[in-house]
Chain A
Amino acid sequence: QAEGFVCHSMKIAVCVKRVPDSETRVKIASDRKSLDEAGVKFVLNPYDEFAVEEALRRKEQGGAGEVVIVLLGPAAAQETIRTALAMGADRGVLLQTDKIPADGLEVAKTLAAELKEGGYDLILFGKMAIDDYNHQIGPMVAELLGLPCVTAIAHLEIESGKGTAEREIEGGLEVVEFPLPAVLTTDKGLNEPRYPALKGIMAAKKKPLDVKPRTLGAGRLEAMALTAPPDRQEGKIVGEGPAAVPELVRLLREEAKVL
């Protein structure tokens, strides 16, 4: 450790979600309300990779500490937790449940109950899950725990119990100060997540992973139907090269009426 470097050991929780890979072809299940999961490849939610990476960097900078991965999901999500452990997290907690309700507040309550007595300096989330696009679990957990929260951060500095984060807003960046302990949700740009090395993958197999069964309330958001978006009518090729431009402009004016 460099001389003069103040060792600050941090205990950090990272909540991660198991989501269908972004390449997934969406097939709607026979109940017409959910995704047919047959043949779907699941991955660690991409935004959560930024959260895991940030936690690992904070721990490495402090020279000590612990990074705990928390996931609410089915038994198969142990694999997702192992991915985060392979990146370097210390241990995992699977809050096991078969079905995650559409109501994010139920998810937030279950996570908050688990995190409450953990004594964490930081609790990190992704800014959103790429399956439900909900953008909500992190700030809801923060409210339930009464902790300060900054969402969708793309830059973070922490010094002696105080943090400064930057979050992108329309046409600018908001610079936000907050005290620790805190809840943060991570956006792209915060860091470059590492790939698990073979050594990490081997080590992950031996790291502790607690499995705790959980039963969630049904919640007050009811999925009524899952449908394919209206097909965009395949358009037309107006022509080739710059010669086609006047016709394009005419179509945009007269047919599409957008100019």
Chain B
Amino acid sequence: MTNVLAVLEQRDGVLRKVSHEVVTGARRLADALGGTVEALALAGGAVKGADRLGGFGADLVITLTNSAFAMYAPEGYSQVLADRAKGGGYAAVVFAASAMGRDLAPRVAARLDVPLAQDVTDVAVESGAVTVIHPVYAGKALLKLKITGNPAVVSLRPNVFTPVERPRAGSQETAPVDVRGGGDRVVVKQIKAAVAGAVDVAEASIVISGGRGLKEPANFKVLEALAGAFGGRAAVGASRAVVDAGWRPHGDQVGQTGKTVSPTLYIAVGISGAIQHLAGMRTSKVIVAINKDKDAPIFKVADYGIVGDLFDVVPKLTEEIRKLHG
């Protein structure tokens, strides 16, 4: 048993980007184990983008379709995946620790009666066993775990497993799949989309977060202009102080009681850098802080800092970024 099952995600019939990361993590495990990667999508029909997964290391891409699978169907998905995992003899099953994966992975693990290592930032194989790194205590410590469950079930923290090109066959298979029993008791009725085109802070490669230093909700337009200058790759996040004040929605909060983000670039604007905020962003690749207080704790974790009034600094930064992307 050396093969790895990568669980893909689609929305509206289009493969989600996080699926590339899942295949990348699964490929890493399969290489160490000497096995193949089978990537599996559950969907209402064909999944756009699935044909490109060979490029990231999938040997086989399977799409299982069911009319109830267009949107996430927690019970149907877990049943089909558990059946597949039982029958397939996999060494590991890999999910994304996304909204769907975090919900689905524990269900599948429980059905298989195996443990789950959720939200991991690294995977490896040591003397035949899968090991993972899982950040704990708000990222203040890293726990290394050895998984002796069979299969090893893991979910990967989004944005950590940078997709790499690892060309494999990526041959495609599509088949209808049935769900036993009377169908899902839990039914996703609709997805209320956030503002059209908005990138989610948990998935954006650039996050620009604002705190109490912004002074009032309307001033977030300064950050939105900067995000706009990056051309659709950037999302605007927030500290808890401004979320609690009702300036920004809960979904934008970064930190211990908000989202954990690992973007390539995190820009903290008018944020002091409380320990609970750092919990959510300290694994960002590069951190920039803009704060008028040179002693603000955020400068302790920032790679680059500018001391100054954000209302002068940010518009200038926006201008410079626009020039770059000119």
Contact = CB atoms under 8 A, between A and B. Distances in A.
DSSP majority for the A interface? mixed
Contact of A258 (B135, B286, B312): B286
A234 B256 CA distance: 22
A159 to B, nearest CB: 15
A170 B145 contact: no
B99 A167 contact: yes
A125 to B, nearest CB: 11
B258 interface: yes
A167 B186 CA distance: 13
Nearest to B184: A148
Central interface residue in A28, A103, A169, A252, by most chain B CB within 10 Å: A169
A155 to B, nearest CB: 10
Contacts of A239: 306-307
A169 B194 CA distance: 10
Given A235-B303, A240-B308, A252-B265, A140 B110 contact: yes
Interface string A228-243: 1100111111111110
B306 A170 contact: no
A110 interface: no
Contacts of B202: 170
Interface in B116-142: 116-119, 131, 134-142
A248 B288 contact: yes
Nearest to B205: A258
B110 to A, nearest CB: 4
Contacts of B147: 220-221
B107 A142 contact: yes
A124 to B, nearest CB: 16
A220 to B, nearest CB: 4
B114 A220 contact: yes
A252 B321 CA distance: 11
Central interface residue in A22, A164, A179, A226, by most chain B CB within 10 Å: A22
A175 B98 CA distance: 17
B134 to A, nearest CB: 7
B115 A221 contact: yes
Contact of B304 (A134, A139, A248): A248
| Contact residues on B (Cβ < 8 Å of other chain), bracket | 35 or more
Contacts of B134: 133
A65 interface: no
Contacts of A232: 282, 287, 301, 303
A26 B140 contact: yes
Given A140-B110, A239-B306, A256-B286, A175 B189 contact: yes
Nearest to A245: B316
A171 B303 CA distance: 29
B143 A223 contact: yes
A22 B276 contact: yes
Contact of A176 (B188, B257, B287, B324): B188
Contacts of B78: 143
B221 interface: no
Nearest to B264: A258
Contacts of B109: 105, 136, 140
B258 A105 contact: no
Given A224-B145, A245-B320, A104 B303 contact: no
B307 A237 contact: yes
Interface string A160-173: 00001011111111
A241 B313 contact: yes
B192 A105 contact: no
Interface string B286-326: 11100000100001111111111100110111001100100
Interface string A98-111: 00001111001000
Contacts of B75: 148
28 contacts: A26-B141, A28-B141, A102-B145, A104-B116, A105-B113, A108-B110, A130-B257, A131-B136, A133-B135, A133-B138, A137-B106, A140-B107, A148-B185, A150-B186, A174-B99, A176-B186, A220-B149, A221-B147, A227-B142, A232-B303, A233-B303, A237-B305, A237-B306, A241-B307, A241-B312, A242-B308, A244-B308, A259-B324
Given A130-B257, A133-B118, 7 more contacts: A20-B137, A174-B190, A224-B145, A234-B300, A237-B306, A244-B306, A245-B316
The 3 closest A-B pairs by CB, nearest first: A143-B110, A189-B250, A242-B316
